[in-house]
């Protein structure tokens, strides 16, 4: 796995007592000009140990799961070519078949629940919780109590032992998700695995595979086996493929079968659009943009075609029973989210939220972990209400929002329009932000778009951490600012979220290597740099003595200024104004 | 002047009674699929009529100024080669000398004040005010009263008659400024004029020429003669060049001479760092990033070198007298603004703001228009305090902020980190936002960076207009959203802030021309599109009858759901859970 920068290296936070090591990225720093050394900075790392795509990652958590002795291996659901789509059936095989070791699926022993929430509620502290506490530099009891209360989730399916545990909840660092996945019109399995590794390299905390094209099952297998972060999906997409894209042909049985298929593969959380109730659908008929969630529109179509209630709602308890066997977390989908600022915070959106709150509490009775999805497109002044309402109705269950975009007028720049709303909604308690790329509304993101989306959302998430006063969040800002003030250009680059881009931009104006240590920046040129002047001021006048001297000198001036204030505006009358001479 | 898109055309808002025409961009729209026509949308336009760089623009406002009969032409300050820098003196000429018509400078007749604030306070409604009212679609009395109260400014030097009047104030549309200008290390006069036209084409409401290299005077001449928008400068930069870059050699006389030179050229507003008082300087000595404003550090350096009070402060009344003769507006510089989130809202910053408030009121006694500059680098949760404090202390004088950046960790992406803060600060009343480009902190912006900065700031400004509920602000969003829902791809592109980029991104995934009218988007592929499904729903079930039918059907379900709610969580006890079978 190539490092992001020569000054970056892999280091570990150690919990020797429990034999845990959490990888972090260590950023080496130069000494200050005055000779003072600068301690290396350690930052949160999502890239994982790196893997050969055709081999996959080691089963990092396998022993933890085994030691709990509450799961059993079993012969998984029978292979079904249709899982890979109609073309796979035609070919009699999926293309790019997964060649790596295929783990035997596990599930809970009869009557057991194997969710982190279940353990937390029993007062059990799991290795996953200790790992998370080390990673977040917080007390493990905070992790346990937040998970027990449903205010945080640790998504890790027992069939995805390759993942490094992470936590999603407002008491912890704000997380970001990157969406990848092919569609009927484009892209290959290799590309998707490449996007996965690219996204986690730049800082994606979770990745959702939204594939809707060919080889859906096999693409997911490649992704999960190579993913150090939790993987989320929207099973209805695959289920729809199994009925040839005809929403009206969907059945609970087909959907359940698809969910179990994905549970056995190791999907860590699934978006379930169980809040789209038949009676809510008419509330969207007169919107500017109707229903824009794919899952939401599929279920709305089904409800209306059958004039029956959403089968995801009527079978929700069975879903809870299944999820409890694998520790799959719900991501309760907001199928009726607004698709334009005009439709924000309307009756349809909030009616669904009421139902998502009901379902959250129902899932908790099964000890199943839950997060709730949020919009979407919301004007800036209405953003805050979304998270505060969700937190109140859902008793603090983690909120997971897409943006929101605060204007609709900038397709091509929606990573920016949405990062503005994302920072605002995260500031008030949203736990995870789903990234938006520059291609949103226009096309499928390529590798560059994925990077731009991830970096933009790291900015939003980190800015929200700063605004929340999250412990230690400011350390990277302060280290970079100090490097900037001291003209340690290389440190400025290596401390930035995207060192290569920062350095490339610098070099466009001042290519020469010496310039990287020069005491001026290209904005002002050699002899005209505010930071240099400012540094001279500090050197020359920063001492206590000098400061006292200045204050002395200025005593008289305060007088004068006081007079100015007193006279302010009274001295000069219009008729007495004389024209200053140009000479 | 090339249009931004084939569907865009130049149109005019007419005030026949007063013979005024305000240019707007008219965006032609296709009919909806149901055959309903969509009226063309008219949007605010900053591009001006366009000019041949070597000829310049017509003196649009000359007759308005002449008719007031309160100004006189005079023989301007003598040409001084040093105005163009030492290399011009060496060469005996400025390179790329301005060849277009050189207007004879005008100034107020003896004892007269020719500022829009003066007229407004006298109850006079000027053509400039009518033009602005037409442009903002508001009542002219709102314009007059806000200018009279100092809550808004119409920056237009009588020696820049080429400009199209615009207004900066919180009661009006949020404006954005783009910085251009050469430095000792790079770029030519032609490039800067090109950047000016490029910036106004994409939506810059004002442009600041921050040139610090060669040919400063001549570069500015080219820029002003070609600018349809107000031009701002920081005169201390040029003054410093005249003393060979040695701040300690600056004098009031050299500075005043430079200011008058720029007044005669037609600069519309000038940044004056008169709030950097000697006694405030020590407050910055222990900051993480000291003083980062160039003007601020120059003045701090001067104060400390001489142990005297800032000559911009002690001579402020003379500056007011000069500005009143040309209608130049103050942009009171925040020379002590924080250069890092660590230094935000500190004693130095707020001490200077107190002095800027004092100077604002003093300038008003001369009827001189004033805006106040703001930071900078501010964590998101501290942004609001900045604008509310400024508005209170400065009696509502327009606030003009740079960003602010809400984190320091993303050099290369500071257009984004700052647009987040800019949206927040504009939402609470900041009147103009100074753009930040991706090159901020790293290098000089090229043409692409200028465009990216402008578009990003149009997003921030427009999002704030939406959040403020500014009348009509949502029309463009709604028109684009409707086009999106109806798969009018071409309208979606032409309604966007950057049509070419939106169309290019779309074509990357779906190049074929037919795809632009296809009823699906590339994200989902042909048969799998939420918007198509949603539109089918509307067609099939959107009618009143259908809606009633659905409600009927669901009456029974409400019952069932009520039971679910009542039983919620009580039905299933852990020991009774059975494992759902995979088959």
Percent of chain B with pLDDT over 70: 86
Q: Which of A296, A307, A362 sits opposite B569 (nearest CB)?
A: A362
**H or E stretch including B207?**
strand B206-209
- Judged by CB atoms closer than 8 Å, whether chains meet at A467 and B406 is answered as yes
By C-alpha distance, the chain B residue nearest A566 is B358
Residues near A222 by beta carbon (within 8 Å), at least 6 away in sequence: A53, A96, A98, A189, A192, A193
Binding residues of B for [4Fe-4S] cluster, by number, are: 521, 524, 529
Binding residues of B for substrate, by number, are: 179, 208, 237, 273, 293-295, 334-337, 373, 400
Kindly indicate the confidence band of residue B550, based on its pLDDT and cuts at 50, 70 and 90.
low
SS (H, E, C) B91-115: HCCCCCCCCCCCCCCEEECCCCCCC
Is A294 assigned a ligand-binding role in the annotation?
yes
Residues near B321 by beta carbon (within 8 Å), at least 6 away in sequence: A577, A578, A579, A580, B366
Report yes or no: A225 and A98 within 8 Å, Cβ to Cβ: yes
Is A529 assigned a ligand-binding role in the annotation?
yes
Query: How much is the mean pLDDT over chain B?
Result: 89
Q: Would you tell me how many other CB atoms lie within 10 Å of the CB of residue B406? A: 33
Taking only residues 50 to 109 of chain B, the set having a beta carbon closer than 8 angstroms to any beta carbon of chain A reads 76-77, 107-108
Give residue-wise pLDDT tens across range B8-45.
999 999 999 999 999 999 999 999 988 999 999 999 99
Report, as ranges of residue numbers, the positions in chain A whose pLDDT lies below 70.
1-4, 183-187, 510-583
Kindly indicate the confidence band of residue B189, based on its pLDDT and cuts at 50, 70 and 90.
confident
Is A208 assigned a ligand-binding role in the annotation?
yes
Cα separation, B259 vs B273, in Å, equals 13
By C-alpha distance, the chain B residue nearest A442 is B506
Predicted pLDDT at A79: 78
- By the CB < 8 Å criterion, does B523 face chain A? yes
Render the burial of B33-61: b for 16+ CB within 10 Å, e for the rest: eeeeebeebbbbbbbbeebebeebbebbb
| Smallest Cα distance from A436 to chain B, Å | 13
How is the beta sheet containing A41-44 ordered, strand by strand? A8-15, A20-27, A41-44
Q: Which residues pair with B373 in a beta bridge?
A: B400
Q: Which of A278, A341, A557 sits opposite B554 (nearest CB)?
A: A278
- By the CB < 8 Å criterion, does A245 face chain B? yes
By C-alpha distance, the chain B residue nearest A426 is B380
Report yes or no: A302 and A311 within 8 Å, Cβ to Cβ: yes
pLDDT(B571) > 50: no
CA dihedral B282, B285, B290, B295 (to 10 degrees): 30
| Contacts with A467 from chain B: Cβ below 8 Å | 379-381, 406
Give residue-wise pLDDT tens across range A188-232.
888 889 999 999 999 999 999 998 888 899 999 999 999 999 999
Predicted pLDDT at B447: 92
SS (H, E, C) A333-402: CCCCCCCCHHHCCCHHHHHHHHHHHHHHHHHHCCCCCEEEEECCECCHHHHHHHHHHHHHHCCCCCEEEE
What six digits make up the tokens of A281? 């659908």
Q: How far is CA A8 from the centre of its chain?
A: 22
**For the residues of B339-374, what is the DSSP string, one character each?**
SSGGGTT-HHHHHHHHHHHHHHHHHHTTT--EEEEE
Q: How far is CA A105 from CA A39, A94, A265, A319, B582, in A?
A: 45, 20, 7, 18, 12
Q: Which residues pair with B209 in a beta bridge?
A: B180
Q: Which of A111, A409, A474 sits opposite B495 (nearest CB)?
A: A409
Phi, psi angle pair for B107, to nearest 5°? -145, 170
Give residue-wise pLDDT tens across range A574-583.
232 223 222 2
| Contacts with A184 from chain B: Cβ below 8 Å | 524-528
- Judged by CB atoms closer than 8 Å, whether chains meet at B420 and A417 is answered as no
Q: Which residues pair with B27 in a beta bridge?
A: B8, B41
Taking only residues 269 to 328 of chain B, the set having a beta carbon closer than 8 angstroms to any beta carbon of chain A reads 277-279, 281-282, 284-286, 288-294, 296-298, 300-301, 304, 307, 309, 313, 317-318, 321-322, 324-325
What sign does the CA torsion over A391, A463, A337, A449 have? negative
Helix axes B414-427, B380-393, angle to 10 degrees: 50
Predicted pLDDT at B238: 95
pLDDT(B227) > 50: yes
- Judged by CB atoms closer than 8 Å, whether chains meet at A365 and B568 is answered as yes
What six digits make up the tokens of B350? 């707020």
Predicted pLDDT at B552: 62
- By the CB < 8 Å criterion, does A577 face chain B? yes
Predicted pLDDT at A86: 82
Q: Which of A292, A495, A535 sits opposite B409 (nearest CB)?
A: A495
Taking only residues 336 to 365 of chain A, the set having a beta carbon closer than 8 angstroms to any beta carbon of chain B reads 339-342, 358, 361-362, 364-365
Measured at the alpha carbon of residue A224, what is the angle toward residues A221 and A228, in degrees to the nearest 5?
Answer: 160
What six digits make up the tokens of B371? 């805006």
Polymer length in residues for chain B: 583
CA dihedral A523, A454, A477, B348 (to 10 degrees): 60
Cα separation, B532 vs B376, in Å, equals 45
pLDDT(B546) > 50: yes
- Judged by CB atoms closer than 8 Å, whether chains meet at A184 and B442 is answered as no
Taking only residues 458 to 477 of chain A, the set having a beta carbon closer than 8 angstroms to any beta carbon of chain B reads 458-460, 462-464, 466-469, 474, 476-477
CA dihedral B182, B188, B190, B192 (to 10 degrees): -10
Residue the block writes with tokens 């190539």: A2
Q: Whole-prediction pTM value?
A: 0.92
Is A41 assigned a ligand-binding role in the annotation?
no
- Judged by CB atoms closer than 8 Å, whether chains meet at B301 and A537 is answered as yes
pLDDT(B424) > 90: yes
By C-alpha distance, the chain A residue nearest B339 is A481
By C-alpha distance, the chain A residue nearest B461 is A407
By C-alpha distance, the chain B residue nearest A280 is B551
By C-alpha distance, the chain B residue nearest A575 is B111
Report the residue of A273, A319, A420 to disrupt the B interface, i.e. the one with the largest count of B CBs within 10 Å. Answer: A420
What six digits make up the tokens of B322? 């000069």
Predicted pLDDT at B79: 78
| Smallest Cα distance from B31 to chain A, Å | 16
For residues B231-236, give the mean pLDDT: 98
Cα separation, B55 vs B35, in Å, equals 47
Binding residues of B, by number, are: 179, 208, 237, 273, 293-295, 334-337, 373, 377, 400, 441, 521, 524, 529
- Judged by CB atoms closer than 8 Å, whether chains meet at A462 and B535 is answered as no
Report the residue of B79, B179, B245, B533 to disrupt the A interface, i.e. the one with the largest count of A CBs within 10 Å. Answer: B533
- Which of B349, B354, B317, B315 lies closest to B334 in space, CA to CA? B349
By C-alpha distance, the chain A residue nearest B364 is A569
Q: Which of A341, A438, A493 sits opposite B505 (nearest CB)?
A: A438
Predicted pLDDT at A533: 67
- Compute the count of residue pairs across chains A and B with CB atoms less than 8 Å apart: 540
Is A180 exposed, middle or buried, given 0-12, 13-18 or 19+ CB atoms closer than 10 A?
Answer: buried
- Angular region, B244: left φ>0, alpha ψ -120 to 50, beta rest: left
Kindly indicate the confidence band of residue B378, based on its pLDDT and cuts at 50, 70 and 90.
very high
Report yes or no: B340 and B295 within 8 Å, Cβ to Cβ: no
Cα separation, A7 vs A10, in Å, equals 10
Longest dimension (CA), chain A: 99
CA dihedral B292, B295, B300, B303 (to 10 degrees): 180
Q: Which of B361, B481, B560 sits opposite A340 (nearest CB)?
A: B481
Is A52 assigned a ligand-binding role in the annotation?
no
Cα separation, B406 vs B417, in Å, equals 6
| N-term to C-term CA, chain A | 68
| Contacts with A282 from chain B: Cβ below 8 Å | 541, 546-547, 550-551
Taking only residues 211 to 240 of chain A, the set having a beta carbon closer than 8 angstroms to any beta carbon of chain B reads 212-213, 237, 240
| Smallest Cα distance from A22 to chain B, Å | 23
ipTM greater than 0.85, yes or no? yes
Predicted pLDDT at B222: 94
For residues B91-108, give the mean pLDDT: 89
pLDDT(B365) > 50: yes
SS (H, E, C) B384-404: HHHHHHHHHHCCCCCEEEECC
| Smallest Cα distance from A317 to chain B, Å | 9
- Angular region, B446: left φ>0, alpha ψ -120 to 50, beta rest: beta
| Contacts with A510 from chain B: Cβ below 8 Å | 185, 443
């Amino acid at each position: 796995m190539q490092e992001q920068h020569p000054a970056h290296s892999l280091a570990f936070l150690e919990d020797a007592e429990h034999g845990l090591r959490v990888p972090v990225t260590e950023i080496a720093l130069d000494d200050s000009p005055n000779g003072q050394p600068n301690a290396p900075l350690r930052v949160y790392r999502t890239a994982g140990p790196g893997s050969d795509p055709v081999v996959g990652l080691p089963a990092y958590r396998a022993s933890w799961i085994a030691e709990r002795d509450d799961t059993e291996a079993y012969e998984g659901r029978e292979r079904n070519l249709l899982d890979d789509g109609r073309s796979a059936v035609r070919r009699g095989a999926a293309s790019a078949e997964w060649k790596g070791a295929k783990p035997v699926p596990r599930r809970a022993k009869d009557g057991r629940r194997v969710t982190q929430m279940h353990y937390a509620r029993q007062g059990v502290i799991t290795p996953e919780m200790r790992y998370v506490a080390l990673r977040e530099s917080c007390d493990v009891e905070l992790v346990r109590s937040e998970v027990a209360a449903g205010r945080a989730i640790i998504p890790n399916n027992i069939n995805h032992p390759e993942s490094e545990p992470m936590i999603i909840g407002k008491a912890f660092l704000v997380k970001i998700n990157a969406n990848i996945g092919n569609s009927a019109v484009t892209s290959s399995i290799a590309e998707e695995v490449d996007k996965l590794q690219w996204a986690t390299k730049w800082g994606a905390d979770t990745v959702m595979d939204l594939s809707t094209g060919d080889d859906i099952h096999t693409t997911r297998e490649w992704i999960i086996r190579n993913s150090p972060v939790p993987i989320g999906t929207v099973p209805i997409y695959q289920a729809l493929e199994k009925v040839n894209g005809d929403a009206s042909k969907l059945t609970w049985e087909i959907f359940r079968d698809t969910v179990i298929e994905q549970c056995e593969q190791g999907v860590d959380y699934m978006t379930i659009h169980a809040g789209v109730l038949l009676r809510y659908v008419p509330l969207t008929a007169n919107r500017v943009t109707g229903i824009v969630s794919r899952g939401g529109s599929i279920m709305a179509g089904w409800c209306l075609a059958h004039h029956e209630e959403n089968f995801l709602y009527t079978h929700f308890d069975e879903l809870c029973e299944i999820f409890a066997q694998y520790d799959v977390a719900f991501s309760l989908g907001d199928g009726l989210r607004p698709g334009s600022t005009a439709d924000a915070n309307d009756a349809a959106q909030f009616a669904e939220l009421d139902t998502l709150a009901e379902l959250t509490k129902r899932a908790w009775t099964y000890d199943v972990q839950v997060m709730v999805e949020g919009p979407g497109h919301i004007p800036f002044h209405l953003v805050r209400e979304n998270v505060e309402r969700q937190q109140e109705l859902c008793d603090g269950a983690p909120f997971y929002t897409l943006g929101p975009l605060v204007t609709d007028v900038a397709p091509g720049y929606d990573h920016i329009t949405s990062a503005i709303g994302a920072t605002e909604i995260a500031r008030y308690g949203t736990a995870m932000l789903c990234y938006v790329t520059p291609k949103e509304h226009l096309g499928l993101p390529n590798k560059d778009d994925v990077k731009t989306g991830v970096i933009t959302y790291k900015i939003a998430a980190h800015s929200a951490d700063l605004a929340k006063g999250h412990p230690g969040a400011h350390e990277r800002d302060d280290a970079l600012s100090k490097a900037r003030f001291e003209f340690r250009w290389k440190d400025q680059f290596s401390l930035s979220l995207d060192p290569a881009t920062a350095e490339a931009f610098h070099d466009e104006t001042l290519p020469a290597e010496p310039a990287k240590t020069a005491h001026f920046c290209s904005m002002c040129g050699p002899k005209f740099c505010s930071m240099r002047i400012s540094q001279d001021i500090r050197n020359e006048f920063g001492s206590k003595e000098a400061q006292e001297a200045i204050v002395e000198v200025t005593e008289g001036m305060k007088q004068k200024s006081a007079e100015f204030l007193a006279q302010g505006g009274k001295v000069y009358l219009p008729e007495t104004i004389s024209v200053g001479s140009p000479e």
